[in-house]
Amino acid sequence: MTFFNASEPLIRCKQEHLDVQDLEGLLRLRWQIGNLTLFSGLYTRIDQTFLLWGLVTAGIFCTAQFVPISWTFQAILWSTITLIATAGMAVLTLFWVKVERVCWILYSWAILMLGGLAITDCSIFACWGSVLLHLCDLWLGVSAIGYFCTGLGLRSRTFLLIGLAHLGAIGLLPFVAPWQYLTTGIVVAGSLLLLSELQWDMRAPIENTLLTEEEKEFNRIQQQLRQVDKTASKEFSKV
């Protein structure tokens, strides 16, 4: 038995038949003018977490790149927002990680965010010049570690590759020194927004005593429906 689920593509369009843990707090967006649909999307609480962090990180790095305000003010502002986002992440994902038995991934991300935030704030308020010069390296590295943890916990090649992309971006920074904050923002926020819009690979579903028997049966039916869709898609691609 392989560690990764090789039958799953790295990324694909979002699946329609969702399990109980994915339906919890599901956000449905549909924007249309008359009969013309401008946008339609489904966002699980995991997707919502990616969107939340995508918007926060885009704001942080774009502000650092383009807005001429003091580092002290930015540290206070973005530290507050990061703490709120970390709490929001815990609220949004707690049920899902409990059902999937990967609570340690949530704890790892929280520790990484708070640790990175502490180092960043100390570098600004204590004037650690050598650290200040490498804040982009720091956050790309922190994100890479988080993605590696997620990839191993969910047995997902997608998250591992995104982690490698973040490490690769660190090597790119010296070549884009005047635009390193913008570059970092594009990599970090872009990855998060991509994950929120697409379905990524992970290990096969598992059962959990946290769910009732009815919910377990519902998940089994949904899994069968996803398998039917996958088979039909393969047959269609052969035509």
Q: Are residues 139 and 217 in the same domain?
A: no
Q: Are residues 214 and 183 in the same domain?
A: no
Q: Are residues 219 and 196 in the same domain?
A: no
Q: Are residues 186 and 235 in the same domain?
A: no
Query: pLDDT at position 236, please?
Result: 52
Sequence-separated contacts (24+) of 169-174 with Cβ below 8 Å:
169/140, 170/136, 170/137, 170/140, 170/141, 173/136, 173/137, 173/140
Is 185 inside any structural domain? Answer: yes
pLDDT tens string, the chain, 239 residues long: the values are 578 887 788 988 888 889 999 999 999 988 888 778 778 889 999 999 999 999 999 999 999 999 999 999 999 999 999 999 999 999 999 999 999 999 999 999 999 999 999 999 999 999 999 999 999 999 999 999 999 999 999 999 999 999 999 999 999 999 999 999 999 999 999 999 999 999 999 988 787 888 989 999 998 999 888 888 776 665 555 55
Tell whether pTM > 0.85: yes
Q: Are residues 99 and 189 in the same domain?
A: yes
Q: Are residues 168 and 235 in the same domain?
A: no
Please state the domain count of the chain.
2
Distance linking the first and last C-alpha atoms of the chain: 31
